[in-house]
DNA sequence: GCGAAAACTTGACGCAGATCAAGTTTTGGC
DNA sequence: GCCAAAACTTGATCTGCGTCAAGTTTTCGC
């Protein structure tokens, strides 16, 4: 891997507190690999051989069943994903494909497991990471079961804005097609919902989201700390889209 | 707590590998409390002061938003719940109420956190528990997003049967009202779905489920290892109903 | 074991959201 | 910068599921 990536990986909550030597050894056993866009890197059901770290690009995690697919998360640099499968040494529950050309660091799962057994600080980090991931998925489930799709879209927009210090405008971090699937709806329904939301305080123009009336939007979305955070959550939780890019 | 409960708690995957002295100390600092039926023991948003262990009775975990509620899980003895909130020292994401008179062991969260810092085996157990919980919730999410309600009911029935070595008949572990909410549907819709499933290999009579044609039912449910398990999962994962009682 | 409350069922109806089928716009490779 | 492919939008239609309302059955406290 490129030497300039090392500090970025080291600064991840998962790795920042572990012993320096253990970190170096773990990274030393890892592989830096580049994948073209649109490649299925992981097929759900495959044995979990490596913890993945996105160094560059973007990766979609999704589930398949029968002929259907649903987007579970999109991971952007620098974050890890599929930690739980590696720890349990069980098959991946989700598939992963690159959305663009991506550089991925592959950390062998067995090394991961031996490392947290001998490095308490790392074990604590793993515990915190997993607990955060778990809570992220639970919050996501609550949103899916308690809100209808219009409410999910509205609260997604507010949540993203909040991550940018309540920015009134920002760019969507992913295509609408993916956003729709992530939110558990069809692209057609999302499209119509966006139009309907124009009278509720938010306007979407291409990839740009413009919050025109935050109060009105919040009235509809009824943002809830126990669903929308903030909660210092893991990004690679397998249930969130990446934070938005700030307006240029 | 009653001395006869101790071995049952000790045999939980979360506690069985830790140092005996640490276990005894942890339990020594805990409280054994009995709650009447129908009591809201935990209100979502409360600070996570205790890890809960159901010793007797049954506890429903549920989420609230606006005026709506949804059942996330039902916990039966002997299992723990809300581990993640305790570890992160963050508010509970779910509320909990007793479904019947229940005896609960309360383990102070701070003691929990200090214990896994000095007991590696316990830390590893916590890691495994959290990873299992995480995977359970992810599988649950996949089921919610990829299956329609009829498919969810059908696969729930098959899953329960499989937990009893493919028993052709068993009793529902919870009221239909709860099952409906857990599966993300209304009681009315569940009721109608049950009738419709009679021509697809399963008959429900009161609380009794009778699988009349396993092949036909499986055709509809399309059971999938990556959604329905088996996967040696945590029961207190916050996303499953208890295993069924075997036919008397 | 009686009576009220809760759980469950059934029917009628409406709506949110899926599906199908064209368009139109945007993206990206050569 | 052009062209094809993909993403997005829009409309028409259908349907799964929620809602409301009125039973019926089961449960449970006294």
- Provide the residue ranges of all domains of chain B, joining segments of one domain with +: 3-118, 147-228
Provide the pLDDT for residue B243.
76
Per-residue pLDDT tens for B71-125?
Answer: 999 999 989 999 999 999 999 999 999 999 999 999 999 999 999 999 999 999 9
Least confident of A213-227, B1-15, B19-33, B205-219: B1-15
Residue B246 has pLDDT above 60, yes or no: no
**Mean pLDDT within B171-179:** 95
Nearest to B93 among A84, A222, A226 (CB): A226
**Mean pLDDT within B220-227:** 96
Tell me how far apart the alpha carbons of residues B70 and A142 are, in angstroms, rounded to a whole number.
Answer: 8
Provide the pLDDT for residue A247.
42
Contact A85, A94 (CB under 8 A): no
* Contact check, Cβ <8 Å, B139/A184: no
| Interface residue of B81, B86, B109, B134 to substitute, partner A, most A CBs within 10 Å | B134
* Contact check, Cβ <8 Å, B124/A116: yes
Nearest to B127 among A85, A123, A140 (CB): A123
According to the CATH classification, is domain A3-118 in 2.60.120.10?
Answer: yes
Match domain B147-228 to its CATH number in 2.40.110.10, 3.20.10.10, 1.10.10.10, 3.60.90.10: 1.10.10.10
Residue A232 has pLDDT above 70, yes or no: no
User: Closest nt to A100 (CA→C1')?
Assistant: C28
Contact A67, A138 (CB under 8 A): no
* Confidence grade of residue B247 (pLDDT, cut at 50, 70, 90): very low
Helix (H, G, I), strand (E, B) or coil at B64: strand
Q: Taking each helix axis from N to C terminus, what angle separates A149-163 and A120-146, rounded to the nearest 10 degrees?
A: 140
Provide the pLDDT for residue A248.
38
> Which residues in chain A touch residue B224, judged by CB atoms under 8 angstroms apart?
65
Subset of residues 4-23 in chain A with CB less than 7 angstroms from any atom in strand C: none
Per-residue pLDDT tens for B5-23?
Answer: 889 999 999 999 999 999 9
* Contact check, Cβ <8 Å, A146/B63: yes
Provide the pLDDT for residue B2.
75
Residue A35 has pLDDT above 80, yes or no: yes
**Mean pLDDT within A232-245:** 67
ipTM of this model?
0.94
* Contact check, Cβ <8 Å, B222/A66: yes
> Which residues in chain B touch residue A142, judged by CB atoms under 8 angstroms apart?
63, 65, 70, 72, 93
Per-residue pLDDT tens for A53-99?
Answer: 999 999 999 999 988 999 999 999 989 999 999 999 999 999 999 99
CB atoms near residue B35 (< 10 Å): 18
**Cα radius of gyration rounded to whole Å, chain B:** 19
- Domain spanning A141-246, CATH architecture: Orthogonal Bundle (1.10)
Name the phi and psi angles at A177, rounded to 5.
Answer: -50, -45
């Amino acid at each position: 891997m490129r030497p300039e990536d090392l500090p970025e990986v080291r600064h991840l909550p998962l790795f920042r507190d572990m012993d320096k030597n253990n970190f170096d050894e773990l990274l030393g056993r890892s592989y830096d690999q580049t994948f073209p866009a649109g490649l299925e890197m992981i097929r759900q059901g495959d044995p979990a051989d490596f913890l993945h770290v996105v160094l560059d690009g973007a990766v979609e995690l999704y589930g398949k069943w029968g002929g259907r697919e649903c987007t579970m998360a999109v991971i952007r640099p620098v974050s890890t994903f599929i930690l739980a499968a590696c720890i349990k040494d069980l098959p991946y529950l989700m598939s992963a494909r690159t959305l663009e050309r991506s550089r991925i660091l592959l950390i062998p799962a067995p090394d991961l497991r031996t490392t947290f057994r001998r490095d308490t600080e790392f074990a604590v980090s793993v515990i915190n990471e997993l607990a955060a991931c778990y809570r992220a998925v639970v919050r996501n489930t609550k949103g899916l079961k308690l809100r209808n799709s219009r409410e999910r879209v509205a609260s997604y927009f507010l949540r993203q804005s909040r991550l940018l210090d309540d920015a009134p405008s920002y760019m969507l971090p992913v295509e609408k097609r993916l956003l729709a699937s992530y939110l558990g709806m069809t692209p057609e329904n999302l499209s119509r919902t966006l139009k309907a939301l124009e009278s509720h305080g938010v306007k979407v123009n291409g990839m740009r989201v413009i919050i025109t009336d935050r109060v009105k939007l919040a009235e509809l979305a009824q943002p809830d700390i126990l669903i929308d955070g903030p909660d210092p959550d893991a990004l690679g939780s397998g249930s969130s889209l990446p934070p938005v890019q700030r307006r240029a």
